[in-house]
Structure 1
Amino acid sequence: MPDAIVPSVLNSYVRDWNMSPGLEHDGFVFMTGFTGSNENGHLSSDPREQFEHAFEKVRLVLEEAGLGFEHIVEMTSYHVGLREHLELFKEVRAATVSEPYPAWTAIEVAGFVRDGAVVELRCIARRT
């Protein structure tokens, strides 16, 4: 049976959306896609801040599971305006992940549920 991973600051995912921020099954942690709003729900117009907040949510789920960024095996990032901010996203990502780097796919999308969001970040981690 999968185990939900719900850091307290992400309780709204369960309460408002009926989804777990993370779900562990057979040593893998599958994460919900995280947009770049801060813990108060504010969504900055600055892409860098959005990227940093999305990675922060991933960190919260990893820590709740007793893991770190080194446990991420796959990352998918969805972007509005991918070409305009890919280099900036790569900078923020490079400051977070380390070798061996996770597999990564970046995808351009038309938009997200939340107006103004420019990124959604989804990761899979594995216990070693």
Structure 2
Amino acid sequence: MEKAFEAATEQKVDAILPLSDPIALGNAARIGALSLRYKIPLVSPFREITDAGGLLSYGPDLSMLFRRSASLVDQILKGAKPGDLPIGRPGHFELGANLQTAQALNVTIPFSIVSRATYVRQ
């Protein structure tokens, strides 16, 4: 991961948007720390990455998705046919802002974003 941040610095990228996959989520602390060390803003679909040093996040509420998944598994274990269950989409998205990171990166997050954020890390 460090080589990716080094390359991003050399190429003078404006920000990094990591893939929305379990690897990124599982490495939230490392990705957040690299973002701060290399002074590259990080925008992610995962709140966890914003909590770990990312600048902004916008994505589905993972705890709600996990509860929905558990409900579907429960229905299948009780005999429901998977093909008969409705396919759903995330119904709730979270917008997050990390003001500590903004200050460290010398970036201003507009009030219009902060005021709409589902959560703000001070």
TM-score, reference length from structure 1: 0.30
| Structure with the higher fraction of residues in helix conformation | 2
| Structure with the higher fraction of residues in strand conformation | 1
TM-score, reference length from structure 2: 0.31
Higher alpha-carbon Rg: 2
